Chain A
Amino acid sequence: AQSVAQPEDQVNVAEGNPLTVKCTYSVSGNPYLFWYVQYPNRGLQFLLKYITGDNLVKGSYGFEAEFNKSQTSFHLKKPSALVSDSALYFCAVRDMNGRWDSSYKLIFGSGTRLLVRP
């Protein structure tokens, strides 16, 4: 069965330091991978996606993610964290080899809360 794991409930980092939010996935076919961010009292906002091509994907607000097929991972990274990056981050996957209708489905991880301290 398809699944997404975010092993850390919370990540704490000092402003200016690099950050990593971990994500691993399990799908039967080719994965389409996404990261979304949720700020307090807001909906989910798209950060970046991996469909195909370069394993390093760059997205909004200086974030990037590295697709690693052998480790089935898609970790979110940023070279220098800002206090304003503090939010809830969700990794999600679409299994593109499933039924045509179920392939639209996004499967989400449980979320990782990022706290950036000044």
Chain B
Amino acid sequence: EAQVTQNPRYLITVTGKKLTVTCSQNMNHEYMSWYRQDPGLGLRQIYYSMNVEVTDKGDVPEGYKVSRKEKRNFPLILESPSPNQTSLYFCASSSGTGQTYGYTFGSGTRLTVV
């Protein structure tokens, strides 16, 4: 089954403790992206990647890092989480070609930073 897999689904952590949210897709998509969802703000892009070793900032990149060492994986790293990073995070991928032009989303990671 074609899918984007995120882990963990839920995470509670303390301020300053480094964490990584993993994302993996099995569709051989070139494009991957991370979004955060906050009430009243919709989804805002954090980082994106056009292909292996090619990453760039989205609209709200502060406090986050990403890497793209393999085509299928795109982890989101919070080096020193803060309470304002409490949010619902989504990973997405897209081929950008063919008939879809849309994204396939993961199930989300709900992060709470206390």
Measuring CB to CB, which residues of chain A are less than 8 angstroms from any residue of chain B? 4, 6, 9, 32, 34, 36, 42-46, 49, 51, 90, 92, 94, 101, 103-106, 108-111
Contacts and interface: CB of A to CB of B under 8 A. Distances in A.
A74 B90 CA distance: 24
A111 B42 contact: yes
Given A43-B105, A43-B107, A46-B102, A101 B42 contact: no
Interface footprint category on B = 20 to 34
Interface of B: 4, 31, 33, 35, 40-45, 48, 50, 56, 58, 90, 92, 94, 96, 99-108
Contacts of B4: 43
For the complex of A and B, 10 pairs with smallest distance between CB atoms:
A108-B43, A110-B42, A108-B42, A43-B105, A43-B107, A44-B105, A104-B31, A104-B96, A43-B108, A101-B50
Between A34, A36, A43, A51, the greatest number of chain B beta carbons within 10 A of the residue's beta carbon is seen for A43
Given A43-B107, A101-B50, A101-B56, A106 B41 contact: no
Contacts, number: 60
Contacts of B45: 105-106
Contacts of A103: 96
27 contacts: A4-B42, A9-B40, A32-B101, A34-B102, A43-B90, A43-B106, A43-B107, A43-B108, A44-B43, A45-B105, A46-B102, A46-B103, A49-B101, A51-B101, A92-B43, A101-B48, A101-B50, A103-B96, A104-B48, A104-B50, A104-B96, A105-B33, A105-B48, A106-B45, A106-B102, A109-B42, A110-B41
Contacts of A46: 102-104
Nearest to A46: B102
Nearest to B108: A43
